[in-house]
């Protein structure tokens, strides 16, 4: 009897280990868009939840495998975002340096078995530079289902969809698709990626494409959720690649009531989402206290109120089958 009990315990242990060892990418595989939803390799709707890194030129110490591993293991993220800065000392001035940061995060995410959004983090159009950057990424990593392309983070409110934003995406996405016909692309929308309804009414002619929705709970409320609903009613798939608990400045107090309303909204509609951001900058949306390690391993005393809220939420949601 004792021997049978030991065998049963051993079998349960092996089974539990196998379940724990399955990574998000092993579970969901190649993502695609179908029927206005992001679905996985089994045809089931998938909701990814994770964290965005901060502007790469200003927070480079977090662009490493240790940070990605800690987010995957301790925070239980299923996706991480490399916000590759374009202006202000970013890719336009230092293309090799910023590309290396993107590659470090991509390779760490592949090793950790999570998804990674490669974000062209800019407000102004730079189609030639963007096409060159994404062509390099697609050629090198386009065979890995982990990779998601975000072709323009936040077009300004002065950039119209038909006049500026859509032509930009057409040029850049054609370069990506020539090298990677399969992986998910997320296209930014006007007015800091809020005009998803305008994009949905005049969609891009590509498969496996979603539109970027950004919000900050302290500034964006039901009116923006209504715009998102209109876009989804038109058949668009949405992906929240960046959201914050604070006002849109990135600073100020958390708006917990609106944050919870947005959580409920995203979960009810199966919208993947990443919080802004993993940085130790002294502002309300930062997840880490100033001076926090750039290599993960953050204790409670190194997390801001927003960071503690997000870590608890991610662990609660992503550990739920």
pLDDT of the residue at 9? 41
Residues 183-229 pLDDT 10s = 999 999 999 999 999 999 999 999 999 999 999 999 999 999 999 99
Q: How large is the average pLDDT for residues 220-244?
A: 98
What percent of the chain is modeled with pLDDT above 90? 93
Is residue 89 pLDDT above 60, yes or no? yes
**Interacting residues of 94 by C-beta distance below 8 A, sequence separation 6+:** 57
Burial of 285: CB neighbours in 10 Å, binned 0-12, 13-18, 19+: buried
Which residue out of 126, 150, 154, 258 is catalytically annotated? 154
Give yes or no for a contact between 103 and 140, defined as CB atoms under 8 angstroms apart: yes
Residues 13-55 pLDDT 10s = 444 444 456 999 999 999 999 999 999 999 999 999 999 999 9
Which residue out of 98, 126, 150, 242 is catalytically annotated? 242
Q: Is residue 126 part of a domain?
A: yes
Least confident of 6-10, 107-111, 303-307: 6-10
Task: Find the CATH number of the domain harbouring 270.
Answer: 3.20.20.80
For residues 53-80, b (16+ Cβ closer than 10 Å) or e, as one string? bbbbbebbebbbbebbbbbbeebbbbbb
Residues 258-316 pLDDT 10s = 999 999 999 999 999 999 999 999 999 999 999 999 999 999 999 999 999 999 999 99
- Domains identified in the chain, total number: 1
pLDDT of the residue at 6? 44
Q: How large is the average pLDDT for residues 84-103?
A: 98
Q: Is residue 161 part of a domain?
A: yes
Q: Is residue 271 part of a domain?
A: yes
pTM, full prediction:
0.93
Q: Is residue 21 part of a domain?
A: no
Report the Cα 142 to chain-centroid distance in Å.
17
Give yes or no for a contact between 217 and 248, defined as CB atoms under 8 angstroms apart: no
Partner residues linked to 159 by β-bridges? none
Average per-residue pLDDT for the chain = 94
At 102, is the secondary structure helix, strand, or coil?
A: helix
pLDDT of the residue at 21? 67
Q: Is residue 13 part of a domain?
A: no
Q: Is residue 3 part of a domain?
A: no
Task: Report residue 107: phi and psi, to 5°.
Answer: -65, -35
Q: Is residue 154 part of a domain?
A: yes
Measuring CA to CA, how many Å separate 166 from each of 48, 127, 160, 194, 280? Answer: 26, 11, 8, 14, 35
Partner residues linked to 217 by β-bridges? none
Active site residue 107: no
Q: Is residue 8 part of a domain?
A: no
Confidence of residue 77 (pLDDT cuts 50, 70, 90): very high
* CA-closest candidate to residue 311, choices 321, 298, 320: 298
Rounded CA gap, 106 and 225, in Å? 31
Q: How large is the average pLDDT for residues 225-253?
A: 98
DSSP 161-213: IIIIIHHHHHHHHHHHHHH-SSS-EEE--HHHHT-HHHHHHS--S-SSEEEEE
Q: How large is the average pLDDT for residues 156-165?
A: 97
Report the Cα 304 to chain-centroid distance in Å.
20
Rounded CA gap, 258 and 261, in Å? 5
Q: How large is the average pLDDT for residues 117-144?
A: 98
Radius of gyration of the chain (CA): 19
Q: Which domain holds residue 64?
A: 36-318
Active site residue 300: no
* CA-closest candidate to residue 211, choices 219, 201, 220: 201
Confidence of residue 319 (pLDDT cuts 50, 70, 90): confident
């Amino acid at each position: 009897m004792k021997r049978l009990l030991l065998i049963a315990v051993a079998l349960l242990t092996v089974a539990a280990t196998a379940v724990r060892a399955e990574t998000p990418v092993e579970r969901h595989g190649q993502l695609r868009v179908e029927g206005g939803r992001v679905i996985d390799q089994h045809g089931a709707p998938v909701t990814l939840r994770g964290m965005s890194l901060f502007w790469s030129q200003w927070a480079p110490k977090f662009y490493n495998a240790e940070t990605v591993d800690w987010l995957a293991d301790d925070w239980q993220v299923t996706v991480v975002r490399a916000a590759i800065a374009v202006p202000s000392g970013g890719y336009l001035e230092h293309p090799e340096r910023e590309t290396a940061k993107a590659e470090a995060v991509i390779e760490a995410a592949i090793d950790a078995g999570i998804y990674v959004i490669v974000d062209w983090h800019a407000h102004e159009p730079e189609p030639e530079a963007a096409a060159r950057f994404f062509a390099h990424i697609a050629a090198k990593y386009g065979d890995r289902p982990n990779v998601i392309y975000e072709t323009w983070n936040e077009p300004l409110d002065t950039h119209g969809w038909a006049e500026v934003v859509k032509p930009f995406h057409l040029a850049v996405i054609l370069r990506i698709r020539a090298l990677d016909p399969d992986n998910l692309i997320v296209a930014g929308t006007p007015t800091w990626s809020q005009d998803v309804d305008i994009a949905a009414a005049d969609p891009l002619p590509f498969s496996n494409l979603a539109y970027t929705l950004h919000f900050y709970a302290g500034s964006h409320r039901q009116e923006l959720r209504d715009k998102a609903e209109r876009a989804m009613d038109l058949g668009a798939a949405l992906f929240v690649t960046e959201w914050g608990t604070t006002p849109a400045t990135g600073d100020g107090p958390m708006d917990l009531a609106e944050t919870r309303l947005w959580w409920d909204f995203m979960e009810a509609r199966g919208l993947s989402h990443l919080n802004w951001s993993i940085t130790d900058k002294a502002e309300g949306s930062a997840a880490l206290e100033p001076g926090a390690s750039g290599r993960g391993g953050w204790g409670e005393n190194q997390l801001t109120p927003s960071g503690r809220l997000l870590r608890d939420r991610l662990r609660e949601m992503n550990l739920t089958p």
